[in-house]
């Protein structure tokens, strides 16, 4: 009996330069470093993506579904690359070993290919693997010439099928570059390339605006029984917000440069009125800072940070409202404070059960994941061969 097919987003994260790196370094530390970096990559892509298979210095990940939130997908890939770069930096600064494997860590890189198509799950010898023509496609895409043609060493290559499934209709506005190549047995594949090295440089240079709890005029806190990625999805996806925010009937999003993030403007519709939000800072899945204009004459714009932290298996959500600078604005905030807190509490009361039930549903539907080898971390404080 043939296995049933299902739509899925397929992603391969490949540690580039590892083959040449391996040829010139001590095997003992090289394998441990690889395990450490693979764990960083896989952990950063979870829980949205599940590990289907480890393939040497690459990880094949999948996410079921006929559609995917394109903006969130771009965030996930960038977040993974940023975590990889930070881990490289941390290892380089922390290690006291001077073997070639440790000295050459900065030469390693990371690239992604992301595709959307049909897959089937096939069980053999107690293992479940993804099979199908689209699984072949995403592997063929690894053998591309992006570096030679575009001069981009760290990149994410998204196929046209993936962008279509993600609703990303204007890749040029997203800063993507077109790419086409013919592959043996597959034919010509069209896609778009994101320069992750540039994204990393922009990320490092970007200013932050996160209101800390001890600086806020108002802090409302709640523990939500779900992981931060799921809570972030409920907090930021326009289609989900009316499900847990009382009186909000729709959220009309005006993305900045084609994707959700800094500069995006949301119109939160309340009957005939709307609260206009502008995103000032965006750090998935840690925090988002917005400036809101209420449909009330004389009320100043209100700046709020929503911060997420994983504590004891739950996500702590904090709404932190910035303290106004002027005495007049502080007085106005004092007048509306009670109603503002009431609405936030009502929203969090509704969000808790929704997030809990969705987390349970996803856990029940999630396929079993392949194991990830554990790193001993020996390269941090023990010279090779010691």
Asked whether residue 383 is domain-assigned, the answer is no
Cα 24 to Cα 36: distance, rounded to the nearest angstrom: 19
Higher pLDDT, 21 or 89: 89
- Residue 140 sits in the same domain as residue 249: no
- Predicted pLDDT of residue 1: 46
Sheet holding 314-322, edge to edge: 216-224, 314-322, 302-311, 287-293, 273-283, 265-270, 250-254
User: Shortest CA distance to 138 belongs to which of 70, 74, 60, 80?
Assistant: 60
Res. 27: pLDDT tops 90: no
pLDDT tens for each residue of 91-110: 888 777 777 777 778 888 99
- Predicted pLDDT of residue 26: 65
Res. 381: pLDDT tops 70: no
Compute the chain's Rg from CA coordinates: 23
User: Shortest CA distance to 63 belongs to which of 126, 127, 140, 115?
Assistant: 115
- Residue 223 sits in the same domain as residue 345: yes
3-state secondary structure of 315: strand
- Residue 238 sits in the same domain as residue 293: yes
Cα 317 to Cα 288: distance, rounded to the nearest angstrom: 11
Look at the chain and report how many structural domains it folds into: 2
Output the CA angle 126-131-136, nearest 5 degrees: 140
Asked whether residue 227 is domain-assigned, the answer is yes
Asked whether residue 378 is domain-assigned, the answer is no
- Residue 115 sits in the same domain as residue 21: yes
- Residue 155 sits in the same domain as residue 281: no
Domain of residue 54, CATH code: 3.30.70.1230
What is the rounded average pLDDT of the residues 299-319? 95
Res. 385: pLDDT tops 60: no
Cα 208 to Cα 282: distance, rounded to the nearest angstrom: 9
- Residue 256 sits in the same domain as residue 159: no
- Residue 21 sits in the same domain as residue 134: yes
What is the rounded average pLDDT of the residues 290-295? 94
Cα 290 to Cα 97: distance, rounded to the nearest angstrom: 45
Res. 372: pLDDT tops 60: yes
Domain hosting 152: range is 5-204
Percent of the chain past pLDDT 70, that is, above it, reads 94
Average pLDDT, the chain: 90
Asked whether residue 120 is domain-assigned, the answer is yes
Asked whether residue 380 is domain-assigned, the answer is no
Higher pLDDT, 123 or 38: 38
- Residue 222 sits in the same domain as residue 138: no
- Predicted pLDDT of residue 328: 94
pLDDT tens for each residue of 141-183: 999 999 999 999 999 999 999 999 999 989 999 999 999 999 8
Which sign does the torsion angle of CA 174, 135, 120, 62 carry?
Answer: negative
Copy the structure tokens of residue 7. 């739509």
Q: How confident is the model at residue 34 (pLDDT cuts 50, 70, 90)?
A: confident
Asked whether residue 304 is domain-assigned, the answer is yes
Among 204, 222, 238, identify where a domain stops.
204
Among 178, 204, 230, identify where a domain stops.
204
- Give the predicted TM-score (pTM) of the model: 0.90
- Residue 249 sits in the same domain as residue 265: yes
Which sign does the torsion angle of CA 179, 185, 186, 187 carry?
Answer: positive
Among 144, 175, 204, identify where a domain stops.
204
- Residue 65 sits in the same domain as residue 130: yes
- Residue 88 sits in the same domain as residue 185: yes
Q: How confident is the model at residue 247 (pLDDT cuts 50, 70, 90)?
A: confident
Counting Cα atoms < 13 Å in the Cβ hemisphere of 114 gives 26
Helix ranges restricted to H, 216-275: 228-236, 241-244
- Residue 186 sits in the same domain as residue 257: no
H or E element in which residue 187 lies: strand 187-195
Helix ranges restricted to H, the chain: 18-23, 27-45, 70-94, 100-103, 133-140, 146-150, 160-165, 196-205, 228-236, 241-244, 327-365
How many CB atoms are located within 10 Å of the residue 355 CB? 25
What is the rounded average pLDDT of the residues 338-353? 94
H or E element in which residue 155 lies: strand 155-159
- Predicted pLDDT of residue 122: 83
Q: Are 217 and 333 in contact (CB under 8 A)?
A: yes
CA distances to 252, 256, 277, 299 from 266, rounded to whole Å, are: 6, 11, 5, 18
Domain of residue 283, CATH code: 3.30.530.20
pLDDT tens for each residue of 189-203: 999 999 999 999 999
- With tokens 């993507």, the residue in question is 176
Asked whether residue 375 is domain-assigned, the answer is no
Asked whether residue 51 is domain-assigned, the answer is yes
């Amino acid at each position: 009996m043939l296995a049933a097919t299902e739509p899925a987003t397929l992603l391969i994260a490949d540690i580039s330069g590892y083959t040449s790196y391996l040829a010139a370094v001590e095997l003992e530390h090289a394998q441990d470093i690889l395990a450490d970096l693979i764990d960083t990559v896989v952990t950063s892509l979870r829980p949205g993506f599940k590990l289907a298979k480890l393939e040497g210095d690459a990880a094949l990940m999948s996410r079921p579904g006929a559609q995917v939130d394109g903006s969130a997908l771009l965030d996930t890939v960038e977040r993974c690359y940023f975590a990889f770069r930070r881990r490289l930096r941390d290892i380089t600064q922390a290690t006291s070993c001077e073997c070639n494997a440790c000295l050459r860590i900065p030469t390693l890189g990371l690239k992604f290919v992301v595709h959307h198509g049909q897959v089937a799950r096939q069980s053999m010898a107690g293992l479940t693997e993804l099979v199908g023509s689209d699984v072949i496609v995403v592997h063929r895409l690894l053998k591309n010439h992006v570096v030679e043609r575009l001069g981009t060493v760290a990149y994410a290559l998204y196929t046209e099928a993936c962008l279509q499934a993600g609703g990303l209709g204007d890749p040029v506005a997203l800063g993507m570059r077109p790419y086409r190549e013919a592959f043996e047995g597959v034919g010509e594949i069209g896609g778009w390339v994101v320069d992750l090295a540039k994204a990393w440089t922009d990320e490092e240079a970007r200013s932050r605006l996160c209101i800390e709890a001890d600086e806020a005029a108002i802090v409302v806190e709640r523990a939500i029984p779900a992981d931060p990625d799921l809570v972030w999805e409920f907090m930021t996806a326009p289609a989900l917000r009316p499900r847990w925010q009382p009186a909000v009937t729709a959220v009309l999003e005006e993305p900045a440069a084609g994707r959700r993030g800094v500069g995006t403007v949301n119109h939160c519709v309340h009957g005939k009125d709307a609260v206009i939000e502008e995103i000032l800072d965006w750090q998935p899945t840690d925090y988002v800072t917005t400036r809101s204009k209420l449909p009330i004459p004389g009320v100043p714009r209100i700046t709020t940070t929503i911060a997420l932290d994983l504590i004891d298996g739950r996500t702590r959500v904090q709404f932190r409202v910035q303290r106004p600078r002027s005495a007049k604005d502080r007085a106005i905030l004092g007048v509306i404070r009670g109603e503002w807190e009431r609405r936030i509490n009502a929203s969090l009361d509704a969000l808790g059960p929704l997030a809990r039930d969705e987390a349970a549903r996803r856990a029940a539907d999630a396929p079993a994941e392949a194991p990830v080898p554990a790193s001993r971390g020996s390269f941090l404080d023990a010279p090779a061969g010691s």
